[in-house]
Structure 1
Amino acid sequence: MTLQRKVLLAVAAAYVLTLAVLVLVTQTIVLGSFARLEQERVTRNLDRVPNAIEDDVTAIRSTVGQWGAWTDTWKFVQDANPAYVERNLADSAFVNLRLNFIVYLALDKRVVMAKFVDLAEGKTVATSEALIGLITADPALMTHRDTKDVKRGIVLAPEGPALVAVGPICKNEYVGPVQGTLIMGRYLTEDEIEKLAKRVQASVTITRLDAGALSDDIARVHARLAQEPVVVETPNSKTIVGFSELKGLNGAPCLLVRVEQPQDIYQHGVATVRIFLVLVAGLGIGVLVLLFVLLERAVLNPISRLTAQAVGIGDSGDLSRRVNLTSADEMGALGRAFDRMVEHLAEARQRLLEQSYYSGVAEMASTVLHNVRNALNPITESTDELRRRLTEVPLEPMQKAAGELRTSTPAEGRTGALVQYLCLASDRTKEMVTGARDDLSQIEQGLSEVESLLAEQESRAQAVRTVETLSLQDLIDEALRMVPAPVRGGVRIDIDPAVAAAPRVMAERVTLAQVFAAVVRNACEAVHEAGGAAEKQVCIAAQAEDAPDGRAMVHVRIRDSGQGIDDAGLKRLFARDFSTKLGGRSEIGLHWCANTVTAMGGRMHAESAGVGKGATLHVLIPAVE
């Protein structure tokens, strides 16, 4: 897996993790707070229901207190005066007081007067004996501690739950004695419950707890309300429901109040959180993209380039490749350090190649010299022996004896002695000539051995050398460093920018650098020999071109403003031992240069407009395709 993909996965994982944490926090904290707000709101509405009922019961109690502590009522329960009924108990009075029933009881619980009215229609309806029986059957309700003892609460009548107030009947100003009991009340009908819902601004449902077998849900909530004052549930994300219980006149739970309302706050919170998460997600994606782009440009791309260069150098061995990172940050410093390291490595390799080359040459030369020396030892000995034999030949005595025999008549007996001497000297000379011939044979054999050693060395010298992919600019720079400063002195050497842009060449570095150095040196020497006031200049240019056989070549032109070459000189320029210099050949000649370039698969040729008009040498080298 590439570094770029790893960074991308790491950034994506960090983004997903951050987003997950953010979602978890918003769900648990933010939306949790909205849910608690909804619970508090439904709890407040649940509290409003008993408060509203308590207000209604308190109003009925106040009416009971006013009517019960009234002398006309006190007299009515004793004489049942019809005029009281006509004046106070009309149907409209019930509607105005919002009462469904009024019951007057004597001290013995006898019903003096009972009237029930349907508030929706404003008409009298049948009396509920069951309701009256429920009230009168409770001794606590029928017992009055004093003239102000008015009891209020809820009674579960067969017709429905009723808000009831029960108080004593006495004279004005609560003056006794008590002559009976006054009962007033209002049923909790659907209309009343609807009005109650409008007052609390919520959907209100009231369920009796004495309605036989309760449903499973009601029974479950009723059981929980025995332990908790309020039960809040959320059947779905859009609705919240609260439950509480209302107690009757006997103090026991009698009604289950259910308040249902939409979770507006929670839904707004959910919408807000969603918008927030979408914005954060979008912003996060934008930040991550920006971060990745910055990482890509500042870190990943430089690392990729550095990796590609390192792999390329490892695969191709081309130490001229560079990363060329120009940024001022750490990656730029790393790239520049890498380039310096490769440059030092290239220089070290070049020095090693040159040292190896020259060491090999020196070692071969040492071996050849040792072998030649060994071969020359017998030749030297044979030469010394030949010299000794030749010095021992009695040439002068033999010449004197021969002259004496030719020019005069020797004394008696002298002629025989001279002849005998010449015969002996002739035999001796023959022996020496025969020995000398043997010595010359040994010398000839030794010379043949030396020639064999030199031929072997020549074949080794022509062996294939190390070939590299080379930069033409580097070769030219190296060649210029090989030209002695006195030779370059006073000559302006211009290198065309096309040299740096030329394709790389395949050649043996040291040999090709020596070729260029020899050509540049010859050009500088030609400029110096031309003399005169003309500008001393050598120009080096290069371009890529195709050879006639289709091979890619690099064409190098080295032009000088020197003395020029005539036609005869151009024809012999690359011949062995030929030179246009006044002093003859110096250093490496063009003959060697031409042969070397040809051995590399290239070629050399020259051109000149004539004497005094300078010359141009063309070097064509195979390019790397």
Structure 2
Amino acid sequence: MRLITKINLALLGVVAVSAVLNFAALRMAVMPSFASLEEQAADRNQGRVLEAIELHKEQVANSAGDYAIWDDTYAFMRNEATDYVDKNVTAESLKTLGVNYFVAVDNEGHIVLDSGYRYGEEEPSPLRLFASNQLLRSHPFLEATEDVEVRSALLSTDQGLVVVGYAPILMSDRSGERAGTLVLGRILDADALRSATKVDFEFKAPEKASEDLGVSGQEFLYRVDQLTSVEGKPLTAVISRTGRDITAVGERTILTTLLFLLGGAALLLFALGYVLRKIAVSRIEMLRAHLSNVASTGKLEALPDDGRNDELSEAIQAFNDMAQQLAELRDKLRRQDYDHGAADQAAGLLHNVRNAMSPVSVLAWELSKEGQSAVSQNLTKALEQLKDPEIAQDRAAKLNQFVTMSATRLIEDEAERRNSVRSMVDMLRHIDDILKDSERSAQLERAVESIDLDKSMRDAVQLVERRAAVDLGLSHLDGNLVLGHKVPFDQVLANILVNAAEAIEASGSKSGKILVTSEIRTRGQGAREVAMMIRDDGVGIDRGSLQHIFEKGFSTKSEGKRGLGLHWCANVMNAMGGRVVVESEGAGRGACVTVTLPAATESKAAA
């Protein structure tokens, strides 16, 4: 038997023994982990169901507390609000509130009001929570506590399980004697809970739960929890069923791993046999060492030529050629990346300068037209007539009156021109700020600064306030400070406002509305952020275009627009730690752009 054959047989035996040991080790070490994950998944599924039920109880209890501790409800229990039921206990109002039952009980247990509805595809059908009009004085709903406490519980009715919330009826300021108890109920829809939790579960009577449950088998894991009634007695059992898919995946994973190990071992044997046949161990080691050095250092250097002129030498030469091509490609990619970055920066800069220049050109055109006003021409004619010594006295008086009125008009026009010039100067300064900021950003990293949201928006408004079809509304902006880079942030606001104004003009409406509001939100771990919503009633955005709205080169506008604005805005906001979100209900229904940045630690009022 040849040496290479012996070596291959020995290696094959090692691989076989290794496969058996690996299989045993995987079964002993990995499968318990999969089983543990399966148990945890079953516990999580049961927990989701219980949490969903508790959420329903909390929601109904909160609504019960709101209605119970209310002057109108208090007055109704004292027979002082005759229209209370018509206003608050209709099918529509209860559906809006998210409950099916509305019950009011006085302190003696007499049910003053028991109204409810079950909602379906047709008209709501009336319901009652209690069969009688009197509760026992010992009923938990009538239990008096020292503190005002809003509680929740479960009841079993002919409609199934009902989540109830109940609270003492007091005045809105929690004063006055307790007028009774208000109870709100919501029918617990098991199908809706299954859909919401994505868990397969059912409700069963407590005495039947253990009979039907059995034990967890090969296909499913079961979890059971008892739910109690308002009296604290067992009411129903929640039984969830979780498929044992994870252990099946574990079995398949172990088998797949073994197959890969065996396949890899076969390839290894083939490679070793080939190398031994060619007596190329030393050269392979040299190649391996070189590749390891490349992996550790990241430097793709050429291999030295061994001069043997065989297949391995050709492979070394091919590697060297590849290394040279990769080096050239890396340099080319670096140049292209630089060029693309510079092109994007230039395109964004030109886009912002164009937006800022648009109102400047409008002001310049208006100022040029004012120099040719009819008032100036008529005033000149009037002054020439007054120079005539033979002019009639009454005519001169009228001309003097006209001169006075024209002079006043010219003074007013001059004041307006000065305001326009000042606005133009501010806009030109804004353009200068854009250029300076672009120059600084090319040399230095921008420092985060505190930005006055109200001032930035009012500066940006100048770009669209002279558009005849646009009506602007600003609210809830004063006092909000955000962290970011002021000049780029101002450009983002300007871009969004110009887009909104152009959307209104494109809709063909003679008068459109842009409404700007803001609110403070709380992110994870208590971090605060300020969101500014800019809504317009323009042409809107269809759902298909909304998915591509931030892509470079995409635009919903015609007339050769390049689609740079929102792409640039999104990149700038991401760089500042913020974000931009665009929403629209469809074409012709307007749009809302939400700009979010981290809130500054101090408000403007505090500062």
When Rg is computed on C-alpha atoms for both structures, the one with the higher figure is 1
TM-score interval (norm. to shorter)? 0.3 to 0.5
Superposition TM-score, scaled by structure 1 size: 0.39
